[in-house]
């Protein structure tokens, strides 16, 4: 297979040489592109707050075993499916906007690879599969999972009525911190809520960086974002989001582990420190005028989240 054949229909900001464009059966490629399977960073950013909540609940309850393992695996599968469903919904609602933005006009719907009706069927299929996984969790987690559909449904429209659509993305993308904690602990508690707030601040950080790629096109078509709101002075805001993300994570760890001994607490508090260091490194390189760098830094937030997850997992094992 030639490179031209392999990448025919490739979305502009997809990872070059990704498995969808090179390995997936040809008939499935438009649907996998619709789910952003060729851009895995979104799945990571949806999954990692789930693992934060799971590991912190395990550290707080001292419960490491099959239930925690299944919740972790279930969240991974569910994150892939629900990120795909959310992106499909986003592309259905944004199909007219996407056709006017250079970076997004190659997406499956505006480029004609998939019709809106076909996309809707694909959305339902992904959602029902994710529901089957959710139903293996406890009743409180199931209820939270159903409630998560509200911010997911609202997010695509947020950029039409607020300069802060990143807040709505944060509400949707970090819901897993609440759900995974509840799936293991049995009920929603303060540490999970604090972890959720941490994730929202983190989303404001990374998605503002991401939004600078489209700031000029967004201005032309009238779409709002924090990138347009902050203009050429984003650094103070990004520093604030960094501080908020790490402060709320530290408070979550302290609330969950203050009575669990020094070692788990120290390991847990290392999570926000490690995340802060990585976010500070991003800030040191960030240039809002360099759209290629914005994408690189945005994608590097997988490592930010993994560093936090690593130390929370170590706290659970301590």
Specify the pLDDT at position 96: 76
d(C-alpha 313, C-alpha 72), whole Å: 11
The span from the CA of 156 to the CA of 54, in Å, is: 28
pLDDT at 63: 67
Q: What per-residue confidence (pLDDT) applies to 305? A: 98
Could you give the C-alpha distances from 128 to 61, 78, 121, 136, in angstroms and in order? 31, 11, 11, 13
What is the C-alpha R_g of the chain? 19
For position 136, what pLDDT does the model report? 96
Per-residue pLDDT of 2-47, as tens digits, reads 334 345 677 776 777 788 888 889 889 989 988 988 888 999 999 9
Residues 270, 253: Cα–Cα separation, whole Å: 10
Over residues 113-150, the pLDDT tens digits come to 889 899 999 999 999 999 999 999 999 999 999 999 99
Taking the model in full, what pTM does it have?
0.89
Burial of residue 28 (CB within 10 Å: 0-12, 13-18, 19+) is exposed
pLDDT at position 6 is 40
Contact 174, 213 (CB under 8 A): no
Ranges of residues in the chain whose predicted pLDDT is under 70? 1-8, 13, 62-63, 100, 102
Note the pLDDT of residue 90. Answer: 83
pLDDT of residue 3: 39
CATH architecture of 30-317: Orthogonal Bundle (1.10)
């Amino acid at each position: 297979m030639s490179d031209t054949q392999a990448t025919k229909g490739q979305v502009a900001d997809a990872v070059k040489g990704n498995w969808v464009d090179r390995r997936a059966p040809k008939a499935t490629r438009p649907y996998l592109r619709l789910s952003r399977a060729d851009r895995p960073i979104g799945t990571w950013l949806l999954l990692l707050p789930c693992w934060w909540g799971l590991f912190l609940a395990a550290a707080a309850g001292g419960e490491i075993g099959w239930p925690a393992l299944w919740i972790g695996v279930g969240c991974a599968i569910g994150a892939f499916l629900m990120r795909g469903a959310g992106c499909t919904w986003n592309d259905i609602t944004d199909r007219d906007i996407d056709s006017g933005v250079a970076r997004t006009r190659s997406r499956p719907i505006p480029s004609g690879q998939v019709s809106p009706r076909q996309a809707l069927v694909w959305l339902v299929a992904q959602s029902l599969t994710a529901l089957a996984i959710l139903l293996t969790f406890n009743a409180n987690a199931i209820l939270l999972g159903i409630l998560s559909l509200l911010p997911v449904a609202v997010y695509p429209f947020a950029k039409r009525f607020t300069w802060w659509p990143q807040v709505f993305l944060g509400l949707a993308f970090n819901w897993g911190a609440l759900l995974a904690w509840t799936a293991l602990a049995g009920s929603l508690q303060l540490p999970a809520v604090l972890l959720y707030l941490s994730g929202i601040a983190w989303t404001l950080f990374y998605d503002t960086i991401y939004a600078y790629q489209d700031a000029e096109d967004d201005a032309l078509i009238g779409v709002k974002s924090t990138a347009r709101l902050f203009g050429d002075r984003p650094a103070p805001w990004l520093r604030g989001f960094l501080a908020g993300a790490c402060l709320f994570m530290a408070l979550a760890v302290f609330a969950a582990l203050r009575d669990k001994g020094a070692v788990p607490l120290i390991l847990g508090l290392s999570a926000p420190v490690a995340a802060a260091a990585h976010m500070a490194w991003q800030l040191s390189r960030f240039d809002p005028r360099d759209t290629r760098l914005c994408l690189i830094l945005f994608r590097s937030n997988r490592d930010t989240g993994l560093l936090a997850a690593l130390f929370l997992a170590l706290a659970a094992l301590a």
